[in-house]
Every structure is written in C-alpha cells, then in structure tokens.
Amino acid sequence: MPSFKKRFQDCAGRLTTRITVVFGLLLGILISLFISSIVQIQKETEQTVRDAIANTLNIYEADYEAQLDTAQLMMSEIYGQMDNLRNLGADDQRASYFARYELTTDMEEKVTVNSPIDCIAVYYDGGLLRQYSNRVSNTEQIRLWDYLRENETFFTRYMSSSRENWRLAKIEEDYYLLSIYRTSGCTILTLLRVDTIFGTLLYYEDSQGRYALVSAEGNLVLHSPGEAASGLFPFIQTNEGKYEADYLIVTRTLPGSSLRLIFYEQRDRLLSGLSALQVTIYVILAVAILGVVSILFFTRSQVLRPLADMLAGVGEVEKGNLRHQIPTEGRPQEFQTLAEEFNKMSGEVLALRIDQYEQKLRLTESKLRYLQMQIRPHFYLNALTTIHSMSLQDRGEDIRQYIDMLSVHIRYMLYGDMAMTTVGKELEHVQNFVQMKELCFPGCVFYMDDVASPELLDTPMPKLMLLTIVENSFKYALKLYEMMNLLIKVDRWEENGQTFVRLIVEDDGDGYPEEMLRGFEQFTGSSGGVGIQNVRDTFRLRYGQPGLVRIEKAVPHGARTVLLIPTDEKRNGNGG
C-alpha cells in the first residue's frame, strides 16, 4: 500500500496541475493578446515617426547641400581669378593695388545678406584680405580676425592639395564650417557659421522629438530647445546602440563634412498619442489580466503554496535539514496546525543533533589551534636568532629594518581572523618574509610569484600555510654560496569535477626525502617535515577531504608543493 507521503504527493500534484493549467492557459491567452497588440502598435507608431523624421531630415539635408553648393560656387568664382590672385603679392604696386581692389569688391558681393558665407579670407605673400557678412557683429569680427591671424601658418602650409571638403572649426563658443582653396600661391578660406545654415533647426522643436547636430568626435554643435541643453543627451557620442531600447534615434551623416544630424525621442512619448479606443482596449485587457491574476494568486496562496510548503518540508527533513521551518502565517487554520506540529517535531530532533555536532566542532577547533601553535614559536625563535646574529656583526641599520618587517609579521599574526586569511594577504606576508631573509643573507634568493587572475587573490585560505612551506624551502634548499630560486604560482585547477584554486611552491634544492614522497598522506615522521605535516593536517580538517596538500619532485631538481583550495567551500569552519 502506498505510503502517506506518496498518496499526499499524488493528490496535491493532481490538484496543483489542474488549477495551474486552467488559469495558466487563460492568463497566457490574455497576456499574448495584450503583448501582441502593444508590439504591433509600437511598431506602426515608430515606423510612422521614422518616415516623418526621414522626410524632415531630407529637407534639412537638401537645404544644407544647397547652401554649401552656393558657397562652393562663389568660392570657385574667386578661385578662377588667377591673374588677380597672382598679382596680389607682385612687385608692381599698381598691379597689386588693382588686384586687391577687384578681389575685395568681389568678396563684398559674396558676403551679402542672402549669401550663406559669413567670412571670406585670402592669404597671399605679405598680406591678408578678408570680408565679413552683415550678420557678423563687431565682436565676432574681432574673434574671426584673431583666429585668422593665429592660424595663418597652418592654413597656408599644412596641405599640399589645392582644395579640401568642409571641416568643422570652433571659434570661441561658435562653430563654423571651413573650406580651404589653394592656388597661385594664395590660400582662400571660407567660413560658414553653423547656426546660420541650420537656423530653423536651432529654434524649432518638433512635437514628436528633438534634433541635434553632432561632430565626428561626438561634440554637441547645435540642438533644438529642450533636453539637450540641460545635458540630457548622452547618445551624442559615437555609439548610440545601447540607447536604442529607451530612445528612437535617427541619424543622418551630412555629405561633404563630418557632421551628423540626429533626431531623438524617448520611446515612451511616442505612445502618448494613441487613440482613446486603443487606450480603452488596454484598460480592458489589463483589468481582465488583473482579475485572473487575483484569482490565481488567491488559489496559490491558500491552497497551492501550503501544499508545496508541506511537501518541501517533508523533503528537507528526509535530506537531514532539520532547521527547515514551514511558514505558518497567512495560512488556513488546517495548514497552520499541521505546520506548527511539524516544526515542533523538527526542532526537538534538531536540538539533539546540535549537541553532538557542537562536541565534534569543539574537538576539531582544538586540533586546529594546536597545529597553529606548533607553527608560530618555530618562526619567532628563528627571528630572535637572526637578530642576535646581526647584532654580533654590528649591522644596526639592518636590525632596524628587520625589526620593522618582523613587526609587520606579528601584526599579521595577531590581528584579524586568527584562522583564515586570503591568498593575496598570504602572498604579501610571504614577500615580507623573503625580504627579511634577503636582509639577513643578501643575494641568497631569487623570488617570483605568478598569479593567473587578480580575483584569485581574494580566495579564503588557512592562515600561515604558505609561509610554512616557504620556510621549509629556506630551511632545506638554501645553500651557503648558491642563490636559491623560489617560485609561487596561483591558478585555477579542475579535478574530478571539482574546481580548486591551486597554489604551487617550487624551489631548486634537494627536494623531499623519498620516504616522505612515497606515502605523504600517511607520513608521520618525527625526524623532520613537521611543518608540512601541519599544513597537510590543517587542510584536511579545514576542508574535510584528503589529498589537498601534495608534495612532488621539481624538474630538474628541488621540492614542489601543491595546495588545492576548494572554491565551493561555503563555510569558514572545518569540513567536518
């Protein structure tokens, strides 16, 4: 006969399935209709706006090209006066005078009110002719004059070709389009103020959006009134892609220059013009969806969720998770009573198991403290011996530096977590230790560490483990008249489906004894290797699994020690 749990699960499962399927189908249909309607309306609205904006941009572009063509035509007429241009710097003063007079007269005609040109300048050997439009104020004329004189060398010598396309120039706070012709030893410069060409754009605010004129570098040259003026126009930079979700952006690169004409508007505003009928449909759909959701939520909270909580509670207890508590608030009376009795039973069983666990935890922590106490005195005794030795050699300055480094070591030992640290802090501590040894025995060691990725430095690990291995290297691999090579490598390692942070310490000494290499996991020799045994036992207690500390022979000779730190370790206590 099926168990109570099995029959309970079957009944609850059938009820849950039926209710979920019925309401799920109804809700899915309504949501699908709602979403499809919104998407279709948005697409149609956006396409309509895009078409309208494209037409507007075409108008601006055509007007822009017409004005540039007019300016180019006028410049070509001046460009064609070869004789006058050649005579500007002639030794014949009469010919030079008449050339300047005729060119000046022609330039005055070119900068009339109806002309798009704001300034024409002709550089020649020994002088500069310029004419300004009536639109240019006296203050602006002074600015332009300063600009022409300051950049004379650049304009007359920077290019070898006879002419170039329009380029953007910023003079004070104003932007100009600039074109350069070179002929007969003269340089003809034309300046068109941008807000003269796009005057309607400057004072025009489209009801469906705004416009902006942007340089190739992403600088805002001109904008219609509104958001752009207050700095709310971040997509003027060269990449608009990341704003496409929130803004409708239409960009047009203007021919003959590096300017970009941009239309932009928030997509939410595009839907503000929907008809009242469409809004009514949305409201009806929304109310229907809310009704279905309310019924489904009520059924789920009063029936399905209590059933699911009961089943989850039974499953957690079967897995051994006696801390799991079934919620009781907001449940029907029947489910609330069942949950309270279930929680009471789980609590009584948990109390019994906690007593056993705490006893085991105290025992393990005592073992860890004992192992760590074995490590600390060993280092301090060596440090005192070193200071005594240097004092006999009258190395006062070295003693002071050594004591400073020793104080760093002691602070590391006494402050913070007494049991755990990070790989990065342990490496810093090892570097401090190596510097202490280098101070005692200059040139005794070549040290290098190699970390595969910076985030590995934040990996938690037991304190002083890396230092103990490095101490062993100095103890057994350091020779009197030879430099010892010491390498520490940190990387990721996968083994048997488990991911580790791997620490490798290599030296070029004589390596580990064969006796220790053959059975390191069971090695308990008393004649040597106490430090590495403590590291092995600490890792075994901390992470609850053997084989995390390995010793090998380095190639061609030396000791190679590998520490594996499990990356899925979720507790700072021991693995038991």
Are 119 and 188 contained in the same domain?
Answer: yes
What single-letter DSSP state applies at residue 112?
Answer: S
Q: Point out the domain boundary residue: 243, 273, 303.
A: 273
Residues 231 and 213 in one domain: yes
Residue 457 within a domain? yes
Give the span between the Cα atoms of 220 and 264, in whole angstroms.
Answer: 13
Does position 125 have pLDDT exceeding 50, yes or no? yes
One domain for residues 494 and 373: yes
Question: 452, 558, 429, 572: which is closest to 506 by C-alpha?
Answer: 558
- Domain final position from 197, 232, 251: 197
345 occurs within a structural domain: no
**Residue 111, in any domain of the structure:** yes
| Reduced 3-state DSSP string for 233-277 | CHHHCCCCHHHCCCEEEEEEECCCCCCEEEEEEEHHHHHHHCCHH
Task: Please report which confidence band the pLDDT of residue 358 belongs to, taking 50, 70 and 90 as the band edges.
Answer: low
d(CA 217, CA 219): 6
Tell me, yes or no, whether 518 and 442 share the same domain: yes
Residue 335 resides in a domain? no
DSSP 3-state of 438? helix
Q: What CATH number is associated with residue 462? A: 3.30.565.10
Residue 24, domain member (yes or no): yes
Three-state SS letters, 357-376: HHHHHHHHHHHHHHHHHHHH
Highest averaged pLDDT of the listed ranges 42-56, 105-119, 327-341:
105-119
Residue 14 lies in domain: 1-79+275-321
Q: Is residue 574 part of a domain?
A: no
pLDDT score, position 396: 86
Spatial separation of the C-alpha atoms in residues 184 and 75, rounded to whole Å = 15
Residue pointed to by tokens 């290599």: 506
Tell me the C-alpha distance between 473 and 484, whole Å: 9
Among residues 178, 197, 216, the one where a domain terminates is: 197
**Separation CA 463–CA 484 (nearest Å):** 25
More confident residue, 82 or 569: 82
Q: Cα torsion at 379, 384, 389, 395 (round to 10°)? A: 110
Cα Dmax for the chain: 126
For residue 574, the model assigns a pLDDT of: 44
Separation CA 543–CA 498 (nearest Å): 13
pLDDT over 90 (residue 269): no
Asked, for residue 350, whether it belongs to a domain, the answer is no
The pLDDT tens digits for 216-251 are: 777 777 777 655 444 445 555 545 555 666 777 788
How many domains are contained in the chain?
4
Which one, of 549, 453, 443, 441, lies nearest residue 505 by Cα?
A: 549
Residue 69 covered by a domain: yes
Q: Are residues 49 and 14 in the same domain?
A: yes
Here the tokens at position 105 are: 């007269």
Q: Are residues 169 and 219 in the same domain?
A: no
Q: Please check whether residues 61 and 144 belong to one and the same domain.
A: no
Q: Model confidence at 575, in pLDDT bands (50, 70, 90)? A: very low
Tell me: do 466 and 507 sit in the same domain: yes
| Of 448, 440, 447, 556, the residue nearest 508 (C-alpha) | 556
CATH number at residue 251: 3.30.450
Identify which of 379, 423, 378 has the alpha carbon closest to the alpha carbon of residue 405.
Answer: 379
Same domain membership, residue 288 and residue 148: no
Residues 511 and 394 reside in one and the same domain: yes
- Looking at residue 330, its pLDDT comes to 66
**530 lies in the same domain as 437:** yes
pLDDT-above-70 percentage for the chain: 72
**From start to end of 508-574, where are the E strands?**
549-553, 559-566
The SS3 of residue 296 is helix
User: What CATH number does residue 121 fall under?
Assistant: 3.40.1840.10
pLDDT digits (tens, 9 = 90+) for 464-510: 889 889 988 988 888 878 899 999 999 999 999 999 999 999 999 88
Tell me the pLDDT tens digit for each residue of 145-200. 888 888 888 877 755 454 557 888 888 888 888 888 887 778 888 888 888 787 66
Digit-coded pLDDT (tens) for 388-445:
888 888 888 888 998 999 898 888 877 656 678 999 999 999 999 999 888 888 889 9
Question: Looking at the structure, do residues 462 and 496 belong to the same domain, yes or no?
Answer: yes
